[in-house]
Amino acid sequence: MAASARLGFILLLMPLLLWLTLLIIIPHVDMLMLSLRERVGVGEYETSIANYKTVLTEPLYMRTFMRTAVMSILATLITLLIAFPVSYYIAKMVRGRARSVLFLLCLIPFWVSELVRTFGWMILLRETGVISQFLQWSGLVSGPVEMLYNDAAIMTGLVYTSMLFMVVPLVTTLDSLDDAVIEAGYDLGGSGWSVMREIVIPHAVPGIVSGCIVVFMLSLGNYLTPTMLGGKDSLWFTEMIYSQFIVRFNWELGAAFGFMLLFASSFIIWAMLRLTGQTLERTMG
Amino acid sequence: MKSILFRLTAGVASAALLAGAAQADTLRLLTWGGYAPDNVIAKFEEETGHKVEVTMSNNEEMIAKLRATGGGGFDLAQPSQDRIEGPQKEFGIYKPLDMSQIKTELFTPSMLEATKKNSTVDGEIYAVPHIWGTSGLIVNTAEADGVKDYTDLCDPSLEGKVSYRLKRPTLIGFAFSMGLDPFEAYGDEAAYTEIMEQVEQKLIECKPVVKTYWSGGDELLNLVRSGEVVAAMAWDTGGWKLNSDNADINFVAPTSGALGWIDTFVLPAKGKSDQAAYDYINFVMQPEIAAMITESAGNFTASKGADEFASDELKAQYQGSFPAEAVDNIKWYPPVPAGLEAIEGGILDRVKAAQ
């Protein structure tokens, strides 16, 4: 009996194990080996840490790396600032049908692909685009305005792309907060701000943290948005990985870049959890 | 439990068998957009009974795809002739052609010989030519009449109205335009690095003039068509396409020489239906079929006699962009030695990062 239960357990676990080994562990081990290889001649390779040395010593790569991390953190914070009031409104202020409609409105942009959404922003922001023409028509500016191809455009795109992934966890956690608790806060003489600070936000922390993790990961790994909206100054780490692999045939350096990105995202998330005093189990479970 | 597992394995095995059988006369073609138009494919399928699966790509992606599978997944690919010797030596992703299977009389002899010479590794021939064209300048003459050469793209009066790609053709074009000869230095990594460093300085100096570095053909055409960009570095076909819409815009062969490329046919190392691949090569090199491809791709082919079938508009545009001396001045890409991409990659990354 015990033996067959054990067998059943193993078989049930099999799909997960296969998934993890075949799609995650084996490719990563392969990448790691690749990143520890150096090309010494035509078709000849040697084991070395030269690729990591290149990443760390070439100021350009480190700068791009830092820039990607900082901009992703910034994008996460901006997303949080915009998404929190929206989620609070959806979860606490409206009821019934209006609530589903509002939630649906947040979802609708995600029915089209990311590429199309990014194109939408390009149509709005470009020199001959909708906003520029409206400004000229209304007489606010005299000539065409270029709003594309800069960091602000990248940031707008990133925030827009990841908004939903912040709203959903926030609405869920805020929803689980009993209205009576908020009322009690006011009854005890709390102001709007102190209720928010002492009751709502502490309750929402797991939702905030899990939303931030998802948004941060999405921004850090985003390729389309920075490349398309950033133009000539769009330096993004994933773009560098792509070009090493595809354009330069330099898989070794590309693999090293990939591992740097993995370490960086793991480290930043670990630091974020430590700072907020959360654990992965609490935020994700 | 056991029986489910058994059935599962049996199912997977039979699916694999079926897939294997179905591939026997399926031609998996890895090519460029426009090179395999639907009408040509339909005609080929009807005449030969082979089925064709088309995957569209570009040079770098083709090689990256074939490298990832060790030359599997496709039966026929079309990289440029300068991307055959290096990748073959380094990664071994192609297999030698059996020239007896190819109707060589269909090809323009000079082009066939040149491609054979450039794609010979260890005495074996790896490629035959298909489509050729050039890259140079697309200029809106109403707004930027002064642009005659690549370095004219740095003219401060054009600030915010210029675009080019951040890829190797730009490096090569600028080098020629600056009076250097990068092709001469292909075999000498130190000399090549030195040339590329001069180009890097120039490109960084020119960066404020650039609106954006384009990455896709359609993106550039949109920029030029809308008037946001008045001078760009691009392919001849893009210029001719725009010329049909707006007579002010045309492709200009730069004074230092347009850069010529030839896209070829190669067999990937692990291709499964070589016969279908040879059939396809012989099919598309027939003059009438080649003319249909010219119609769709906008570029001329290496098929002998196909030019007669080309449209008059395209012929006129070609002659407008290429006076006789400009044709002689075309710089054909020699094979890229393995390892040069790493040098160019560093340069391109630094240009992109420059403020």
How far is the alpha carbon of B192 from chain A, nearest alpha carbon, in Å?
16
pLDDT score recorded for residue A140: 87
What is the residue-averaged pLDDT of chain A?
89
What does the H/E/C string look like for A106-165? Answer: HHHHHHCCHHHHHHHHHHHHCCCCHHHHHHHHCCCCCCCCCCCCCHHHHHHHHHHHHHHH
Chain B nearest-CA residue for A41: B339
- Please return the burial class of A125, using the count of CB atoms within 10 Å of its CB with bins 0-12, 13-18 and 19+: buried
Is a pLDDT exceeding 70 seen at residue B13?
no
CA–CA distance, A263 with B318 (Å, rounded to integer):
53
pLDDT > 60? residue B10 = no
What percent of chain B lies above the pLDDT cut of 90? 60
How far apart, in whole angstroms, are the C-alpha atoms of residue A203 and residue A88?
12
Separation between Cα atoms, residue B55 and residue B36, nearest integer Å: 10
- The residues of chain A scoring below 70 in pLDDT are 1, 283-285
pLDDT the model gives residue A1: 59
**Dihedral (Cα; B14, B20, B22, B25), 10-degree rounding:** -170
Cβ <8 Å between B353 and A60: yes
Confidence (pLDDT) at B9:
46
User: What's the total number of domains in chain A?
Assistant: 1
Domain that includes residue A208, residue range: 47-284
How far, in Å, CA of B70 to CA of B64, rounded?
A: 10
Is residue B259 within 8 A of residue B150, CB to CB? The reply is no
Tell me which chain B residue has its CA closest to the CA of residue A4.
Answer: B1
Least Cα distance to A79 among A91, A69, A71 occurs for A71
Give how far A52 is from chain B: nearest CA, Å.
Answer: 15
pLDDT band with cut points at 50, 70 and 90 for residue B353: confident
pLDDT digits (tens, 9 = 90+) for B63-92: 989 998 999 999 999 999 988 998 898 889
Instruction: Tell me if B345 and A227 make a contact (CB, 8 A cut-off).
Output: no
Is there a domain that residue A33 lies in? no
Note whether residue A162 is domain-resident.
yes
* Domain membership flag for residue A174: yes
User: Does B216 contact chain A (CB < 8 Å)?
Assistant: no
Does A208 map to a domain? yes
Contacts of A61 in chain B (CB under 8 A): 349
Give the pLDDT of residue A219: 94
Judge whether A17 lies within some domain.
Answer: no
Instruction: Answer whether A248 sits within 8 Å of B227, measured CB to CB.
Output: no
Burial class (CB within 10 angstroms; exposed 0-12, middle 13-18, buried 19+) of A112: exposed
- Helix ranges (DSSP H) in B234-286: 236-245, 274-284
Is residue B268 within 8 A of residue B75, CB to CB? The reply is: yes
Q: Find the CATH number of the domain harbouring A121.
A: 1.10.3720.10
Interchain CB contact of B353 with A (< 8 Å): yes
A235 and B352: CB-CB below 8 Å? yes
pLDDT in tens, A65-94: 999 999 999 999 999 999 999 999 999 888
- The rounded distance, in Å, linking the Cα atoms of B104 and B109 is 8
- One-letter amino acid for residue A210 of the chain: S
CA dihedral B110, B114, B116, B117 (to 10 degrees): 140
Q: Which of A42, A126, A127 is nearest residue B338 as measured by Cβ atoms?
A: A42
**Chain B from 272 to 331: CB within 8 A of any A CB:** none
Domains of chain B with CATH codes: 2-132+261-328 (3.40.190.10), 135-258+330-353 (3.40.190.10)
State ipTM. Answer: 0.76
**Secondary structure E strands in chain B:** 26-31, 51-56, 76-77, 94-95, 120-121, 124-125, 128-140, 162-164, 210-213, 231-235, 249-252, 259-265, 267-268, 300-301, 331-332
B261, β-bridge pairs: B133
**What does pTM read for this prediction?**
0.81
Q: What is the pLDDT of residues B218-240, one digit of tens each?
A: 889 989 999 999 999 999 999 99
Q: Which residues lie below 8 Å from residue B297, measured CB to CB, with a gap of 6+?
A: B32, B34, B35, B37, B131, B237
Give residue A103's pLDDT: 87
Nearest to A245 among B1, B64, B90 (CB): B64
Is position A7 within any domain?
A: no
